Amino acid sequence: MAAILRGSRCLAEKCHNHVNAAQVSIRSMASKTQVGFIGLGNMGNPMAKNLMKHGYPVIASDVFPESCKELRELGAQILDSPADVADKADRIVTMLPSSPNVIDVYTGPNGILKRVKKGSLLIDSSTIDPAVSKEMAVAAEKLGAVFMDAPVSGGVGAATSGKLTFMVGGPEEEFNAAKELLSCMGANVVYCGQVGTGQAAKICNNMLLAIGMIGTAETMNLGIRLGLDPKLLAKILNMSSGRCWSSDTYNPVPGVMEGVPSANNYQGGFGTTLMAKVCFVFTFTPVPLGSLAHQIYRMMCARGYASKDFSSVFQFLREEEGQ
């Protein structure tokens, strides 16, 4: 009967995926049933804990057994492989480092899709190529499951405090089901459009951030050279049209703000090497500043800044004394 209900909705809505609607509704009705979680790294671990805090039993897996220890002690069930998790849970969140990991966790020999249940909701919060998200969605759909991309904005701090922003792509009719879980882990859950648009939104934000940070670093360096006090300059920019997140929230100049990497010798934060590895070049659209920003982060990596926070571009561009 479930199949029938589902089928009728599909007919009615000209839907593009064949997920069983009844199972979807079972998912919703029994919402505090177990949730799968694959990838218990720096981000995934606190995210899974927040799911548990909200009353969801978690069934987790990670390639590194030691990563599972903390969650196991908190009562999560730890299984050997993504396939095992898919066998037990029909809602699964994945949080993985890169596209190849996602491909493996979903389509590999012990991957989710090997044993995924019809009607399952698969939410990938990894930051990857939108084209890979689309491929995973097609593969999942063939097995009657729904794949959504939901990359996050915010770092380990936001993951711990449940203040992440999720940018979600996938079938609009599944968004509420995804939001139910994601809102346990984030303060904002934004629907972006069809599958892949979550990744697209994240790429866009990262590119503008990459530009804004270097622009801010250049501007602060220039102003200091021209005789301005850095705190005062930041204040002026922030009340004017030069204002941006890098100037008012994450200022790259030591001494201007507290609680940011520039106040701590550029430790922590978002590594320059990550910024350099982000690829902006998915389309034929001209992105001259985005592209140059990318190259500058690469130059920084070549000159020893790889593991510092990306705001250390201020230091990289700063003239040494006596010149």
Residues marked active site are found at 202
* DSSP-assigned states of every residue in 284-301: SS--HHHHHHHHHHHHHH
Q: Which two tokens stand for residue 65?
A: 């057994």
> If residue 22 lies in a helix (H) or strand (E), which one and from where to where?
helix 21-29
Q: Which two tokens stand for residue 18?
A: 């064949």
Q: Which two tokens stand for residue 225?
A: 């050279």
Residues with Cβ within 8 Å of 17's Cβ and at least 6 positions away in sequence, in order, are: 141, 146, 171
Residue from 56, 137, 293, 311 touching its own copies (CB under 8 A): that is 293
118 binds its own copies (CB under 8 A): no
Q: Say if residues 150 and 167 touch (Cβ distance below 8 Å).
A: yes
In the region spanning residues 13 to 52, those forming contacts with its own copies, defined by CB under 8 A, are none
Query: Rounded to 5 degrees, what are φ and ψ at 256?
Result: -85, -40
Query: Cα–Cα distance between 88 and 284 in angstroms, integer?
Result: 43
Of residues 50 and 221, the one with the C-beta less far from its own copies: 221
Residue from 2, 5, 103, 306 touching its own copies (CB under 8 A): that is 306
- If you compute the radius of gyration of the chain from its CA atoms, what whole number of angstroms results? 22
C-beta of 291: minimal distance to its own copies in Å?
5
12 binds its own copies (CB under 8 A): no
Residue from 55, 109, 227, 259 touching its own copies (CB under 8 A): that is 227
7 binds its own copies (CB under 8 A): no
C-beta of 28: minimal distance to its own copies in Å?
25
Of residues 52 and 293, the one with the C-beta less far from its own copies: 293
Residue from 77, 206, 251, 311 touching its own copies (CB under 8 A): that is 206
In the region spanning residues 246 to 285, those forming contacts with its own copies, defined by CB under 8 A, are 246-247, 249-250, 276-277, 279-285
Q: How many residues bind its own copies (CB under 8 A)?
A: 85
Of residues 58 and 260, the one with the C-beta less far from its own copies: 260
Residue that is written with structure tokens 């990894």 in the block: 126
Of residues 7 and 97, the one with the C-beta less far from its own copies: 97
Of residues 83 and 211, the one with the C-beta less far from its own copies: 211
Q: Which amino acid is at 192?
A: C
In the region spanning residues 120 to 149, those forming contacts with its own copies, defined by CB under 8 A, are 130
Q: Say if residues 105 and 73 touch (Cβ distance below 8 Å).
A: no
Query: Cα–Cα distance between 151 and 277 in angstroms, integer?
Result: 16
Q: Which two tokens stand for residue 120?
A: 């399952």
C-beta of 125: minimal distance to its own copies in Å?
15
Of residues 46 and 198, the one with the C-beta less far from its own copies: 198
In the region spanning residues 150 to 169, those forming contacts with its own copies, defined by CB under 8 A, are 153, 165, 167
Q: Which amino acid is at 209?
A: L
1 binds its own copies (CB under 8 A): no
Residue that is written with structure tokens 């898919």 in the block: 86
Q: Which two tokens stand for residue 218?
A: 């250049």
Residue from 52, 78, 200, 275 touching its own copies (CB under 8 A): that is 200
C-beta of 65: minimal distance to its own copies in Å?
28
C-alpha distance from residue 130 to each of 141, 172, 309 (Å): 16, 17, 25
Q: Say if residues 289 and 297 touch (Cβ distance below 8 Å).
A: no
103 binds its own copies (CB under 8 A): no
